[in-house]
């Protein structure tokens, strides 16, 4: 089976999701509220999505320059996943501080 993959599609999605979640792009007030109040579950969804992409791409092979592109995409997804996991960890630390009376 041959599959044509557009890495830019995944790269743009990760970039926009990250910027929206970190509120680095203009968002309507209701979207800002959504991303702020649901940050934890959004980040968890990103980790799941990244894991699925990684699993899918680990089953793929490429040749020539496409191999370099595929490897680079895998690394970008891993970085995206790490960013989301770090965000989840930060939220857990904040919650622990608030619950212990330090926050």
Q: Cα separations (Å) of 8 from 28, 65, 76, 101? A: 26, 15, 11, 45
pLDDT class of 54 with cuts at 50, 70, 90 = very high
- Please check the confidence at residue 101 and state whether its pLDDT lies above 90: no
Q: Cα separations (Å) of 77 from 56, 71, 90? A: 12, 10, 20
**Reported pTM:** 0.90
- Backbone phi, then psi, for 70, in 5-degree steps? -65, -45
pLDDT class of 103 with cuts at 50, 70, 90 = low
């Amino acid at each position: 089976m041959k599959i044509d993959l557009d890495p830019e599609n995944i790269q743009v999605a990760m970039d926009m999701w990250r910027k929206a979640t970190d509120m680095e792009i203009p968002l309507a007030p209701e979207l800002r509220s959504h991303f702020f109040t649901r940050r934890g579950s959004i980040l968890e969804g990103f980790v799941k999505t990244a894991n699925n992409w990684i699993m899918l791409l680990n089953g793929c092979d490429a040749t020539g320059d496409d191999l370099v592109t595929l490897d680079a995409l895998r690394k970008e997804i891993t970085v995206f996943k790490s960013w989301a996991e770090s965000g989840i960890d930060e939220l857990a630390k904040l919650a622990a501080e608030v619950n212990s009376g330090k926050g």
